[in-house]
A and B are shown apart, each in its own frame.
Chain A
Amino acid sequence: MKTVAGAMVLLLHLALMLAAAPVVVGLIRQIKARMVGRMGPPLLQPWRDLARLLRKQPVVADGTSWLFRAAPATNLAATVAAASLVPSFALGMSTAGISDLLVIAGLLALARAAMALAAMDTGTAFGGIGASREMTFSVFAEPVFFLIVFTLALLAGTTNLDAVATLVASGTLGLRISMALALVAALAVAIAECGRIPVDNPAAHLELTMVHEAMALEYSGRHLALVEMAACLRLLVWMALIAVVFVPFGIALRDADGASLAPWFWLLGIAAWLIKLGAMSIGLAAFEATRAKLRVFRVPELLGMALLLGLLAAIFLFVSQGFAQGPP
């Protein structure tokens, strides 16, 4: 019964994530357009774009290897694998036992590496500039994320996301300065990893300022559809990650013997999750509409601040609870 429920939650979760990913991007575009006084495209426009791209035959750049053609599917597969590890509306998915935060970071890094290699494979300057900048940003974003994981691991005693979420959702932690600091740091990392303003502009038209779009420059047809889908999903994975770690209210917990709760709790969880996504989309859109993109060499400063917050989060924790010494 437990395994069946876990598998059902996982399938429902994946269906929800995949369906919602382009819609969330559409929603953010819509809100941003409204904020700057335009009508904006309809919510489902990203889905329509994907369907249109699937109907077109891709043109592959001369002189590229098999890696260029394999990279979009690798990128999406790794992102989907990461998405299946981050709970959305209910804990206790089938993947709970392997949903390690470091593995999630690793899978997202795998997706990034596939794209960077494919961009280098085109042998163009734009592909190279995108790959180089993407890897540089990751060099500064990774330490921040690992410090956040470190803080969470100190609290929960494990880096398993399901265990961390269970702890936070149970409410025994209370309000903690460390969690607040870690949240701000996590937002900065998420913005950098998803290529949003002020780190990268997803709607960039000037080639020299692009990072993610520069890597996807040579893609067309179904390849581009996979890349776009992976980018949408990556944003949603980060939103879900922040939601489940920092604002887990409403999420369907497990009952005493570790099984998932009944379906009506799932409905509640889905409703709460959608509300959280909506709030985060509004926040992100408002932030993006009022900010300009940073110069490439200012991005490390932003992530450096986040690193400081991450360090403070861990140190506050040490100081506040005189962290348990000696054998556990």
Chain B
Amino acid sequence: MNGFILPILTVAVGVLLALGPVLAWTGSEGSGTAIGSKIGGWGTLVCCGIGACATLLHLATGAVPVFLAVPLGLASQSTILVLDSVSDLFLLVVLLTGAAAAAASLDDHGHPPATAPAFPVFVAGMVLTLVAGDAFAAVAGFELMSLASFILVLTNHRDVGVRAAGLLYFGMASISAICLIAAFALLAVEGASFAAIRAHPPEAWRAVAVLVLVLVGTGSKAGLAPLHIWLPPAHSAAPGHVSALMSGAMTKVAIYLLVRILFDLCGPAQPIWWFLPLLAMGVASALLGALRANLETDIKAVLACSTIENIGLVTIGLAVAMAARAADLSALAGLALGAALLHVLVHGLFKSLLFLGAGAVQHGAGSRQLTRLGGVIQRMPITGCGMLLGAFCLAGLPPSAGFASEWALFQAVFGAVRIGGLGLQILICVLAAILALVTALAASAAIRLVGVALLGRPRTPRAAAAEEAGPPTRWAILFLGTLVVLTGLFPGLALHLAEPALHLLANTTMADRAGAFGIVPTAELPGYAPLAVALLLGVAAIVIAVVLRARAVMGHRTGPAWDCGFGAPPAWLPFGDPLTQYGGGSFAQPLRRILGGVLLGARAQVDMPEPGDTRPAVFTEQAQDPVEAYLFAPIGRLRGHLSALTDRMHFLTVRQTLTVIVTVLIAFLGIVALVEQL
């Protein structure tokens, strides 16, 4: 039975890859046929569905690694595909979110975009990366994924902002490609297959170089600080179902490669300090992402920033697991790794849900800007409730899925004091405080997103006339919502899916600590039981309802909001003046003043005209990511200087040109001679 699973997935990848050219052939720009886009959407949906069932079957039957050599590859070598427990877990995230995104892409938004053929290829690239059994297939899949997603980001390429976002994304993807190819080149000394790499793990300087290259290569794809700046613009630029997949699945594929290389291929015998760069990047991402999510004004940029934050949380879990593994604390490593993998699953699901909702809001209410939305939940009930559910996960409120994984992460961090000496313990203590700050910031961002965009009064006529998303998107939202609720109530069962992966990566287990009714951090101690908490909440709500029915006057009247005596709005402003309610900027004002000034250099300026002057008062606010200001801006300036320098070469006289050429030639020969000597 197990023998069929990998061929099924391979065929699915093949079909998805074939769908691209077929779609491109059936429709070109402007004349794209609805039929072509329907074939693409349905094809991707079916492939993802079958793939997800096969993966679940493989996980359920013990996830014994299966191999397949496909006679297609570089230099007449065959490509090796492997399906093991780690691949399974990430495949599940990719295929489930892929199915939902494909379903949402079936929604009829006028003529299909010219970039639609790239969508199945995008999914195929991710699946190929996850089932790759050698370096070539892994890099090929990863780059296929990067390229296809780059094309998809450019869907609305007539917009200048979208083109700029695409260029930034392409630049970061190139950095990631260079680093990953270099990392695999350093790893594959005895052969490119993962088995060969595993047999000869890197040592000494090679190991350190691999660590750095992998952190940069996968970090720039996953959105780890300081390589996270592309996420907010690229996610905003892409259509809803694409950004759902980029955020929910693609960042996880990058995390998969990180886990695969650092935990599996590099072997278990790495020095303990390896977790420090991982931890630093994780903490920086979590903090920056959570804070920026409170300040962004575009709903998809808010969600993208929260993706940066959540990837940071996953990375913190991985860092703790790595340190615990190096210190031989097997139980702690299992808890930390389990928390990280659970968060991968949970975040993949709820973030796709939120992005699909955001895409539907953009289409139904005509804007992504917080300043142009409001009251959308009343016109878009299913989309709105789906986003509300996602926001509860984002805020980490019990008994949602987001709380379960964050709870496990906190337990792992609390347990991490056993790893080392006083210095590390103080570090862990600070880490716990930062983690709490991050979750509270995320909660604030989630409340702001829902409160401003979905609740309150409409800020524009377009938002007041918002239309509910079409049936495909509604089904996708319902599907993901159900999965999110189930994961929230049964996180122990989700952890059981990760059980073989824990064995493989850290030779540890959570089986004794994860059950159908909850998770415990240490065997035989009490833990978190979401079902019981949900039951407690339900019973309390029922009792409250019964008491009210018996004791209180039921029913209600409606009237204009009291608002401390402002009274009913006039007839020509049926919703009152929408600008009198709190918006995204005003909600974030306290945090911007208190934290934004230090971390993001946020400034607010009021340009108040003199008395008697009739020009309007102007309020401007600005904040800049420190990474942009202190890392990328200097690099950009350096590039400018260098290009100005090389530009001078174009205007040399013949004599000067000859001098330069001869000098370079002599220098080159000198170097060759020197190397020969050595």
Asked if A125 and B580 make an inter-chain contact with CB atoms under 8 angstroms apart, the answer reads: yes
B190 located at the interface, meaning its Cβ lies under 8 Å from any Cβ of chain A in the complex: no
Total interface residues on B, CB under 8 Å, equals 96
Task: Report the separation of the CA atoms of residues A217 and B559 in the bound assembly, to the nearest whole angstrom.
Answer: 14
Q: Is A12 positioned at the interface, with any CB of B under 8 Å from its CB?
A: no
Whether a CB of chain A sits under 8 angstroms from the CB of B26 is no
Chain B, 585-628, contact with A by CB distance < 8 Å: what is the 0/1 string?
A: 01111110111000000000000000000000000000000000
**B384-408 near A? 1/0 per residue, CB < 8 Å:** 0000100010011110000100010
A138 adjacent to B544 (CB under 8 Å): no
In the complex formed, the residue of B with least CB distance to A117 is B451
Contact B437 A143 (CB under 8 A): yes
Contact with A along B550-587 (1 / 0, CB 8 A): 01111111111111101000000001101011110011
CA distance A102 to B589 in the complex (A): 28
Query: Is A60 in contact with B558, judged by CB distance below 8 angstroms?
Result: yes
- Contact present for B564 and A126 (CB under 8 Å): yes
Contact of B425 with A222 in the complex, beta carbons under 8 Å: no
Contact with A along B431-450 (1 / 0, CB 8 A): 01111110111011011101
Which of A39-47, A154-162, A245-253, A282-290 sits within the interface?
A: A154-162
Contact B455 A98 (CB under 8 A): no
Q: When the two chains form the complex, which single residue of A69, A77, A123, A132 contacts B457, counting CB atoms closer than 8 Å?
A: A123
Q: B433 and A116: CB pair below 8 A?
A: no
Which residues of A lie under 8 Å from residue B544 when comparing CB positions? 73, 76-77, 80, 226
Closest chain-B Cβ to A315's Cβ sits at a distance in Å of: 6
B522 lies within 8 A of A218 (CB)? no
B3 lies within 8 A of chain A by Cβ: no
Q: Provide the bound-state CA to CA distance between A126 and B219, in Å.
A: 42
Q: Do the beta carbons of B576 and A123 come within 8 Å of each other?
A: yes
Does A158 contact B456, Cβ atoms closer than 8 Å?
Answer: no
Q: How far is the CA of A255 from the CA of B367 in the complex (A)?
A: 63
Known: A98-B529, A146-B433. A132 touches B548 (CB 8 A): no
Q: Give chain B's interface secondary structure class.
A: helix
Instruction: Please report the C-alpha to C-alpha distance between residue A322 and residue B425 in the assembled complex, in whole angstroms.
Output: 10
**Is A33 close to B, CB under 8 A?**
no
By the criterion CB–CB under 8 Å, are A106 and B397 in contact? yes
B564 close to A97 (CB less than 8 A)? no
B562 with A218: CB separation less than 8 A: yes
Cα separation A120 to B533 with both chains bound (whole Å): 27
**What is the bound-complex CA distance between A137 and B544, given in angstroms?**
29
Q: Contact check, A74 vs B541: say whether CB atoms are below 8 A apart.
A: yes
B526 within 8 Å of A by Cβ?
yes
The B-contacting residues of A in range 44-87, CB under 8 angstroms, are 54-65, 67, 69, 73-74, 76-78, 80-81, 84-85
Q: B194 contacts the other chain (Cβ, under 8 Å)?
A: no
Using known A-B contacts A146-B432, A327-B328, determine if residue A133 contacts B590 with beta carbons closer than 8 Å. Answer: yes
Among A121, A163, A225, which residue has its beta carbon within 8 angstroms of that of B525?
A163
Kindly specify which of A194-202, A263-271, A306-314 makes contact with the partner chain: A306-314
Q: Check B582 against A127 for contact (C-beta < 8 Å).
A: yes
Q: Is A236 an interface residue (CB 8 A)?
A: no
From B274-282, B409-417, B494-502, give the one contacting chain A. B409-417
Asked if A297 contacts B593 (CB within 8 A), the reply is yes
- Decide yes or no: A311 and B589 within 8 Å by CB, A59-B557, A106-B403 being known contacts: no
Contact of B526 among A78, A81, A140, A162 (CB under 8 A): A162
B222-230, B264-272, B373-381 - the one binding chain A: B373-381
Residues of A within 8 A of B407 (CB): 100, 102-103, 106
Q: Who on chain B is nearest to A118 by CB?
A: B455
Taking a contact as CB atoms closer than 8 A, the residue among B429, B528, B553 that contacts A314 in the complex is B429
Contact A61 B553 (CB under 8 A): no
With CB as the reference atom, state the residue of chain A lying closest to B574.
A63
Q: Interface residues of A, CB < 8 Å — how many? A: 97
Q: A135-B447, A138-B440, A147-B432 known; A128 and B593 CB under 8 Å?
A: no
Write the chain A residue with the least CB distance to B587: A132
A107 to B595 Cα, complex, angstroms: 26
Interface residue B452 (Cβ < 8 Å from any Cβ of A): yes
CB of B422 closer than 8 Å to a CB of A: yes
A207–B536 CA distance with the chains assembled, in angstroms: 35
Question: Does A139 make an interface contact (CB < 8 A)?
Answer: yes
**How far does the alpha carbon of A153 sit from the alpha carbon of B588 in the complex, in Å?**
33
Answer whether residue B49 sits at the interface, using C-beta atoms and an 8 A cutoff: no
Contact assessment for A56 and B553 in the assembled complex, using a CB-CB cutoff below 8 Å? yes
A120-B455, A123-B576, A307-B433 given; A96·B444 CB < 8 A: no
**A interface SS class:** helix
Cβ contact within 8 Å between B436 and A147: yes
Contact present for A98 and B533 (CB under 8 Å): yes
B contact residues around A310 at 8 Å (CB): 433
Residues A146 and B556 in contact, CB atoms below 8 Å apart: no
- Chain B residues with CB under 8 Å of A128's CB are 451, 456, 581-583, 586-587
For B559, the chain A residues whose CB sits under 8 A away are 59-62
CB atoms of B545 and A73 under 8 A apart: yes
Closest to B551 in A: A54
Q: How far is the CB of A171 from chain B (nearest CB, A)?
A: 21
Q: Inside 8 A of B403's CB, which chain A residues have their CB?
A: 106
In the complex, how many angstroms separate the beta carbon of A189 from the nearest chain B beta carbon? 11
Answer yes or no: B540 CB below 8 A from chain A CBs: yes
Contacts of A139 in B (CB 8 A): 437, 440-441, 444, 591, 595
Bound complex: CA of A187 vs CA of B533, how far in Å? 26
The 8 Å CB contact of A81, one of B434, B521, B540, is: B540
B421 located at the interface, meaning its Cβ lies under 8 Å from any Cβ of chain A in the complex? yes
Which of B378, B456, B557, B595 is the most central at the interface, judged by chain A CB atoms within 10 Å of its CB? Answer: B456
- With contacts A60-B558, A67-B455, A158-B525 known, is A129 near B582, CB below 8 A? yes
Contacts A54-B552, A57-B553, A103-B533: A132 and B432 contacting too (C-beta < 8 A)? no
Which of A88-110 touch B at CB < 8 Å? 95-100, 102-103, 106-107, 109-110
Cα-based distance from A146 to B552 in the complex (angstroms)? 38
Q: For A62, what are the chain B residues with a Cβ–Cβ distance below 8 Å?
A: 558-561
- Name the contact of B456 in the complex, choosing from A58, A123, A162, A322 (C-beta under 8 A): A123
CB–CB A154/B582 < 8 A? no
Most central of A123, A157, A222, A328 by chain B CB within 10 Å? A123
Report yes or no: A120 in contact with B456, Cβ–Cβ below 8 A: yes
Q: Complex formed: what's the CA distance from A54 to B553 in Å?
A: 6
- Given the known interface contacts A131-B451, A307-B433, the answer about A98 and B582 at a Cβ–Cβ threshold of 8 Å is no
A136 within 8 A of B: yes
B537 within 8 A of partner (CB): yes
Is B563 a contact partner of A69 (Cβ separation < 8 A)? no
* B410 contacts A146, C-beta separation under 8 Å: yes
Could you list 11 A-B pairs, sorted by A, with CB under 8 Å?
A: A59-B558, A60-B557, A67-B455, A73-B544, A121-B455, A125-B581, A139-B444, A158-B521, A159-B414, A221-B553, A322-B422
A-B pairs with lowest CB-CB distance, top 6:
A128-B582, A120-B451, A146-B436, A123-B457, A61-B561, A142-B440
- B interface list, Cβ under 8 A from A: 327-329, 374-375, 377-378, 388, 392, 395-398, 403, 407, 410-411, 414, 417-418, 420-422, 425-426, 429-430, 432-437, 439-441, 443-444, 446-448, 450-452, 455-457, 518, 521-522, 525-529, 532-533, 536-537, 540-541, 543-545, 548, 551-564, 566, 575-576, 578, 580-583, 586-591, 593-595
